[in-house]
Structure formats: C-alpha cells, structure tokens
C-alpha cells in the first residue's frame, strides 16, 4: 500500500528537492559551499520578509525556540507565555529550564489570543521582557494575531516579541520587518518542504541589543556566533550541508512560483479541506482563526477521532495527526504544507467519508469531496 504522509510536519518532500539533497557531499569550508550558504541566507530573507540576517541552525524547531530564550534573557527575568496549545506550553517549559519566570496566559484550545488581554497583562506587569507566542499553533490549527500583538511591543525598547513561526513562515505572510517582530523562527519540515533537521531564526536590532546583556548559558546555539559566521557565509559548526542544498532548491521554487502564490496554494487547500468537511457536518476546530498551514477537524459527536485516524492508516495508507492532551480523540490534523496538492486533499476527505460511512454516520456520501473539489478548482 502506498503511504501518504499528511501530517503537519514532517511533510512530504518533492522529488526535485530529494534529488538535490542526493548530490555528493561538498566540504563546508570551501568557496563552493559558501556560495550555497549565502544563496540560502538571501532566499530566506525574502520568506521572512526581512532585511535582517536569517540564520540557519542544524537543529529542529525547538532548538531555535531554546536559542531565542537563552540568547536574549537573564535568569529571573519575566516573560509572558501565550499558551493556547502544546507549542505555547513549550515556551513555558523552556523558560522553566533556564530559570526564567513566566506569566502563563492560558487561551482556550481552538481560539486565538485576545490582544486586549495581552495589553492588560502588560499594563499590570511592567517588568515583562518578552512575549512568547506562536504565529500558528499546530496542536489546534489556530493563527494568533501577530501583527496586532506587535503593535504593543514595537514602540517599546524594553520588551521583545518572540514568534514561533514554525508552521507559519512559508505558509502565510509573517511580516518580520513591517510588523516589528523581534524574533521569528521557521522550521525545515513544514512549509519549507524539507526533511526535519534545520531551523531558521532572525533577530531584530532590538533583540540583538537584548543578547548583549543575556547571561543564560549557551554554546552550540550561541546566536552571536551564528550571526558572525553567517555574515561570512558559513556557520560556526558543521552545517547540514545537503539539507542546505535542498533548501536552495525550495527557495528557487518559491521564487519561481512567487511567494504570494505559495501562500495562495495553502489558503485554497485550507479552504477546500475545512469547507469540505463542514459540508458533511465535521467542524473546523479553529473556526474564525484558522491557520492555513493545516486543517484541524473535529470528529463527529460519539465518534473517536482515533478511530478515523486508525481507519485512514489501515484502509488507505494515509497518515494524519491526532489531537494531544485535552484534544485527544476529538480532532484530526491534516497538513497543507509540503508536497501536497489537490488530489491529496480529495483523497483524505474521500477516505474519511469512507470510514464514516462504515460507522453509519448519517451524511450524504460524496458531498465533502464535491464541496472541496469546487474550491480546489480555483487553484
Ligand atoms: C508551532 C510549532 N512549534 C514548535 C514545534 C517544534 O518543532 P520541532 O519538532 O521541529 O522541534 C513544532 C513542531 O511540530 C510546531 O509545529
């Protein structure tokens, strides 16, 4: 049976990227590789929508989240963690590991944070040095209002806005310079259509100022080291050479398509999938604040999402992600990032319809597929 990986990371990698990564190894301390590294850095700036340096780290996304904290803060500092899901929760865990205090603002799963509430917390707690948030919370499928949150921080020099854009950057616009974000993080195994293993991070001038006073321990992920080396088109440690080669293939593809069309593709896949499922009575978990990087769909009353996920895998070879913690058994999650297209979305909706039919869930079989198809035809 053919395997379809339709999880919101890792995602399927296009063949042209695999072939690029299959090329023979180049030594990293050579002019040839420096050229490749330089090109990748320049291409990333366009996706990050910034003139600042974007550093390429050989780590998964969490490594870059860790670096964002360890390079800018001090033991005993206070941050504001926006926790609306598993990845928001992770900000708090990283703070705890470094002895950084945090005020945890819990947001109901499936809802976006209210900017007004952040404003109130900032008014009451003048000592907050960083807001830590996700642009796209992958555990719930929610897009948080980063542009609006940035308005609370971009005219203050005593607080930075740190944005985990791991399932946002490359999927929809996150305008680093224009909005005034201070730290933005991307991850290879998401909209960048690469295997896991690289993270990308950019810092504003304000965030670089913060690094000067930071006394938290760091070595491998010392961003000042990464920055100095990045300016010389290299990295302090051995880079993931072939992944960077693959990254260039992706960035060239983005350029050829036009970034706006890359974003549009995610939007159409998201619209088709959420509306397709809605037409057969399956609700969008993040209604009104949907991240177009993935669809998070609620299983119908009385049906365990785990059974849908199991059925998709066993009957059709399709792998989608489930919910974690409080959402376990209630939702399933489908990627719009990576090498997925119309036929993948049609197939997964048809697969779910097939399983629901067997469970005697009452609906008009085929409605989900036909609703989605009409939207996908606008692609
Ligand atoms: C929003 C978000 N943040 C952080 C992470 C963690 O990244 P990684 O698993 O690459 O360390 C993920 C991974 O799924 C994510 O989706």
Query: What was the pLDDT predicted at 87?
Result: 98
166 Cα to the center of ligand 1, angstroms: 6
Average pLDDT, the chain: 98
Query: What was the pLDDT predicted at 241?
Result: 98
What the block records as the tokens of 241 is 């050479």
Q: How confident is the model at residue 325 (pLDDT cuts 50, 70, 90)?
A: very high
pLDDT tens-digit map of 110-130: 999 999 999 999 999 999 999
- Distance CA(76)–CA(80), nearest Å, equals 13
14 Cα to the center of ligand 1, angstroms: 21
Query: What was the pLDDT predicted at 128?
Result: 98
Q: Given ligand 1 and candidates 66, 93, 138, 200, which is best to mutate, with the most ligand atoms within 8 Å of its CB?
A: 138
Q: Which domains does the chain have, with CATH numbers?
A: 4-9+259-376 (3.90.1150.10), 16-256 (3.40.640.10)
pLDDT tens-digit map of 188-215: 999 999 999 999 999 999 999 999 999 9
Residue nearest to atom 7 of ligand 1 (CA): 61
Q: In sequence order, what are the beta bridge partners of 131?
A: 80, 161
Q: What is the DSSP string of 180-247?
A: T-SEEEEETTTTT---S--EEEEE-HHHHHHHHH--S--STT-HHHHHHHHHTTS-SS---HHHHHHH
316 Cα to the center of ligand 1, angstroms: 27
Task: For the chain, give the percent of residues with pLDDT over 90.
Answer: 99
For residue 165, the ligand 1 atom closest to its alpha carbon is 1
Task: Give the burial class of 279: count Cβ atoms within 10 A of its Cβ; 0-12 exposed, 13-18 middle, 19 or more buried.
Answer: middle
pLDDT tens-digit map of 134-162: 999 999 999 999 999 999 999 999 999 99
Closest CA to 172 of 261, 86, 246, 111: 261
84 Cα to the center of ligand 1, angstroms: 14
Query: What was the pLDDT predicted at 327?
Result: 97
pLDDT tens-digit map of 216-273: 999 999 999 999 999 999 999 999 999 999 999 999 999 999 999 999 999 999 999 9
367 Cα to the center of ligand 1, angstroms: 33
Query: What was the pLDDT predicted at 124?
Result: 98
Q: What angle do CA 275, 277, 280 make, to 5 degrees?
A: 110
What the block records as the tokens of 232 is 């010389």
What the block records as the tokens of 245 is 């080669």
- CA separation, residue 72 to residues 75, 103, 118, 135, 226 (Å): 10, 17, 21, 20, 14
Q: How confident is the model at residue 104 (pLDDT cuts 50, 70, 90)?
A: very high
- Mark residue 70 as left, alpha or beta (left: phi above 0; alpha: psi -120 to 50; beta: remaining): alpha
For residue 65, the ligand 1 atom closest to its alpha carbon is 4
For ligand 1, residues with CB inside 6 Å are 9, 60-62, 87, 134, 136, 138, 164, 166-167, 187, 196
197 Cα to the center of ligand 1, angstroms: 11
pLDDT tens-digit map of 53-81: 999 999 999 999 999 999 999 999 999 99
């Amino acid at each position: 049976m053919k395997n379809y990986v339709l999880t919101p990371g890792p995602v399927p990698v296009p063949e042209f990227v695999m072939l690029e990564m299959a090329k023979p190894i180049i030594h990293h301390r050579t002019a040839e590789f420096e050229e490749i590294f330089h090109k990748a850095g320049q291409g990333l700036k366009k996706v990050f929508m910034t003139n600042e340096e974007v550093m390429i780290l050989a780590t998964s996304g969490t490594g870059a989240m860790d670096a964002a904290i360890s390079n800018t803060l001090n033991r005993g500092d206070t941050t504001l963690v926006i926790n609306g899901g598993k990845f928001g929760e992770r900000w708090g865990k990283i703070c705890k590991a470094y002895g950084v205090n945090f005020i945890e603002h819990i947001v109901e799963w499936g809802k976006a944070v209210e900017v007004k509430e952040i404003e109130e917390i900032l008014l009451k707690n003048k000592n907050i040095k960083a807001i830590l948030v996700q642009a796209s919370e992958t555990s719930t499928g929610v897009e948080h209002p980063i542009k609006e949150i940035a308005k609370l921080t971009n005219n203050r020099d005593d607080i930075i806005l740190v944005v985990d854009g791991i399932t946002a950057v490359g999927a929809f616009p996150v305008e680093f310079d224009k909005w005034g974000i201070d730290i933005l993080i991307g991850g290879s195994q998401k909209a960048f259509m690469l295997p896991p293993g690289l993270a990308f991070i950019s810092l504003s001038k304000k965030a670089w100022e913060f690094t000067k006073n930071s006394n938290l321990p760091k070595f491998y992920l010392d961003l000042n080291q990464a920055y100095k080396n990045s300016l010389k088109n290299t990295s302090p440690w051995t880079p993931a050479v072939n992944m960077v080669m693959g990254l260039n293939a992706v960035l060239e593809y983005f350029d050829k398509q036009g970034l706006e069309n890359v974003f549009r593709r995610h939007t159409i896949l998201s619209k088709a999938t959420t509306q397709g499922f809605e037409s057969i009575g399956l609700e969008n978990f993040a209604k009104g604040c949907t991240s177009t990087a993935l669809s998070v769909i609620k299983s119908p009353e009385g049906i365990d999402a785990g059974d849908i996920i199991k059925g998709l895998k066993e009957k059709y070879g399709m792998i989608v992600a489930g919910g974690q913690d409080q959402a376990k058994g209630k939702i399933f999650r489908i990627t719009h990032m990576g090498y997925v297209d119309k036929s993948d979305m049609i197939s997964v909706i048809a697969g779910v319809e097939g399983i629901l039919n067997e469970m005697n869930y009452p609906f008009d079989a085929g409605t989900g597929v036909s609703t989605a198809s009409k939207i996908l035809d606008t692609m």
